[in-house]
């Protein structure tokens, strides 16, 4: 199958077909290869594999056929030369940083990124001499001002979690390249169905496959996509030695998830827009964050950069934390869990969960209000979701 010319396939076709190589058994669905190592025909063949003279499998920390199918499929969908799968989304970010950066290098990052990424940059990479400056996602001048001679990497997530702020990928890619930096985009909220950062000039795309790529809340995993040089050498070079590789089973779950990604994302987007419009009408709601609403301050950039606005809706309730917890505790259908991108709608209080490890000052700077609630809109009937929320608001 991979022998075929896939360059003119559309995204939905790539999602179903790319990367599959049938074995001699003629299986229709992709097989799982749960094996830690691979056998060689002879001592000489083993030596040739280990020296790199002969390509092929050695050990599943390095390569695994099921993992490779997932990697090739996601690479094709993002339009990248190479994808490397990782054990989690955080492992994808860690492997990118440790594979491409050196002691003394500097990162400029959006301040509106996933809570664990902030902690990774601020408290862990800093111990190894890699410093990070955090800037406002939507302020291109602030990014430019933060760049130093030793800056190597610009990092962002768009739309951001949980405030759905949009970063202008094209502009920030230009800024990065003028300064010999790489632009890394965490594309978790959009997936390649809604936004393809490499086409907009980004150098590396990060995924938490845990979210929409699986889409059914089953497995933890991640991926890095980009050029052969950056990802195939830099990131993979670190990963195969350090070891946060994806398991064959998880790769299989994710690659089957990719097959339904386009139809799932379309449904998530449609329900999220309906919910956001409804929330805007509620007197108890102070503010709604959803890029698909004309009231979103970056609505125009969002619809230029993304083909739809995604499945995450956040809103601030009047009444702060008490009101937020009361609404969350009143729901019967929605799941109180921090995961997102699931078929099941989830509801979270970011200030005390995903962003709870940040200092109150950092949280305030990032705009995480105590009354903020994040909803990842699932695939249940939207009328049932709205009914569940209106009970708690009423």
Ligand X SMILES: *Cc1c(COP(=O)(O)O)cnc(C)c1O
What contacts 271, CB < 8 A, 6 or more positions away?
A: 311, 377, 378, 379, 382, 385
Q: Which tokens hold the place of 359?
A: 């200092």
One residue of 80, 162, 222, 226 binding ligand X per CB under 6 A: 222
Piece of the chain touching ligand X by CB under 6 A; list 84-92, 229-237, 295-303, 310-318? 84-92
Confirm or reject binding of residue 220 to ligand X (CB under 6 A).
Answer: yes
Can you read off the two tokens belonging to residue 381? 């009937």
Bridge partner list, 12: none
| Residues 51-70 close enough to bind ligand X by CB under 6 A | none
Among the residue ranges 33-41, 50-58, 113-121, 140-148, the one whose residues contact ligand X (CB under 6 A): 113-121
CB-based contact 111:138 (threshold 8 Å):
no
CB of 91 to ligand X, least distance (A): 7
> Contact at 8 Å (CB) between 345 and 378?
yes
Instruction: Kindly state the smallest distance separating residue 244's Cβ from ligand X, in Å.
Output: 10
Q: Which token pair is 335?
A: 């799941």
Other beta carbons within 10 angstroms of residue 253's beta carbon come to 21
Name which position in 64, 66, 69, 88 contacts ligand X (CB under 6 A).
88
- 214 is a contact residue toward ligand X (CB under 6 A): no
Q: In this structure, what are the phi and psi dihedrals at residue 117, rounded to the nearest 5 degrees?
A: -70, -40
Nearer to ligand X, 323 or 366 (CB): 366
Number of chain positions touching ligand X (CB under 6 A)? 15
Q: How far apart are the first and last CA of the chain?
A: 55
Query: How many whole angstroms separate alpha carbon 22 and alpha carbon 108?
Result: 44
Quote the distance between the C-alpha of residue 107 and its chain's center: 19
Q: State the minimum distance, in angstroms, from the CB of residue 342 to ligand X.
A: 12
Which position among 30, 71, 157, 342 is part of the footprint of ligand X (CB under 6 A)? 157
Q: Which of 90, 239, 251, 288 binds ligand X (CB under 6 A)?
A: 90
Q: Which distant-in-sequence residues (6+ apart) come within 8 Å of 22 by Cβ? A: 1
Q: Judge if the upstream peptide bond of residue 155 is cis by omega within 30 degrees of 0.
A: no
Which of 154, 151, 157, 156 is closest to 130 using CA atoms?
151
Nearer to ligand X, 220 or 323 (CB): 220
Stretch that binds ligand X, among 39-47, 111-119, 237-245, 289-297 (CB under 6 A): 111-119
Residue nearest to ligand X (CB): 89
Place of tokens 């075929």: 4
Check binding of 211 to ligand X (CB under 6 A): yes
Q: Which of 161, 245, 348, 376 binds ligand X (CB under 6 A)?
A: 161
Which of 89, 192, 197, 371 is in the footprint of ligand X by CB under 6 A? 89
Q: Which is nearer to ligand X, 57 or 116 (CB)?
A: 116
The interface region with ligand X, picked from 51-59, 112-120, 127-135, 386-394 by CB under 6 A, is: 112-120
The pattern of x and - marking residues 287 through 326 that bind ligand X according to CB under 6 A reads ----------------------------------------
Smallest distance from ligand X to CB 246, Å: 11
Alpha-helix residue ranges (DSSP H) falling in the chain: 11-17, 43-51, 65-78, 89-100, 115-119, 140-146, 169-178, 191-194, 236-242, 248-259, 261-280, 299-305, 320-330, 360-365, 382-393
- Report whether 363 contacts 118 (CB < 8 A): no
Site string for ligand X, 171-210 (x = CB under 6 A): ---------------x-x-------------------x-x
> At its nearest, how many Å lie between ligand X and the CB of residue 97?
13
Report the nearest approach of ligand X to the CB of residue 226 (Å). 16
Residues that bind ligand X (CB under 6 A): 88-90, 114, 116-117, 157, 161, 186, 188, 208, 210-211, 220, 222
């Amino acid at each position: 199958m991979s022998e075929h010319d896939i360059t003119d396939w559309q995204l939905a076709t790539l999602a179903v077909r790319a990367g599959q190589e049938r074995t001699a058994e003629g299986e229709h669905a992709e097989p799982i290869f749960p094996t830690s190592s691979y056998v060689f025909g002879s001592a000489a063949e083993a030596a040739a594999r280990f020296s790199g003279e002969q390509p092929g499998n050695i050990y599943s920390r390095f390569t695994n056929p099921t993992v490779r199918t997932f990697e090739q499929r996601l690479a094709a969908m993002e339009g990248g030369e190479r994808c490397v799968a990782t054990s989690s989304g955080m492992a994808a970010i860690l492997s990118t940083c440790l594979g491409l950066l050196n002691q003394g290098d500097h990162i400029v990052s959006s301040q509106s990124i996933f809570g664990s990424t902030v902690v990774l940059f601020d408290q862990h990479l800093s111990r190894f001499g890699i410093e990070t400056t955090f800037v406002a996602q939507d302020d291109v001048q602030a990014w430019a001002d933060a760049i130093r001679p030793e800056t190597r990497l610009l990092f962002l997530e768009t739309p951001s979690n949980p405030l759905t702020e949009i970063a202008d990928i094209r502009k920030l890619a230009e800024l990065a390249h003028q300064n010999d930096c790489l632009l890394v985009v965490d594309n978790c909220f959009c997936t390649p169905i809604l936004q393809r950062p490499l086409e907009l000039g980004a150098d590396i795309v990060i995924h938490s496959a845990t979210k929409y790529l699986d889409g059914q809340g089953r497995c933890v995993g991640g991926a890095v996509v980009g050029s052969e040089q950056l990802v195939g050498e830099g990131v993979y070079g670190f990963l195969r030695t350090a070891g946060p590789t994806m398991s064959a089973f998880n790769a299989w779950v994710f690659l089957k998830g990719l097959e339904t990604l386009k139809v799932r994302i379309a449904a998530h987007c449609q329900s999220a827009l309906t919910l956001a419009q409804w929330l805007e009408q509620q007197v108890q709601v102070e503010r709604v964050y959803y890029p698909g609403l004309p009231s979103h301050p970056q609505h125009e950039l969002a619809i230029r950069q993304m083909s739809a606005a995604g499945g995450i809706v956040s809103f601030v309730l009047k009444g702060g934390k008490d009101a937020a917890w009361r609404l969350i505790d009143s729901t019967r259908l929605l799941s109180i869990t921090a995961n997102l991108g699931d078929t099941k709608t989830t509801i979270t209080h970011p200030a005390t969960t995903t962003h709870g490890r940040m200092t109150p000052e950092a949280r305030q700077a990032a705009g995480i209000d105590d009354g903020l609630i994040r909803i990842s809109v699932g695939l249940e009937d939207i009328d049932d979701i709205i009914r569940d929320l209106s009970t708690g608001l009423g």
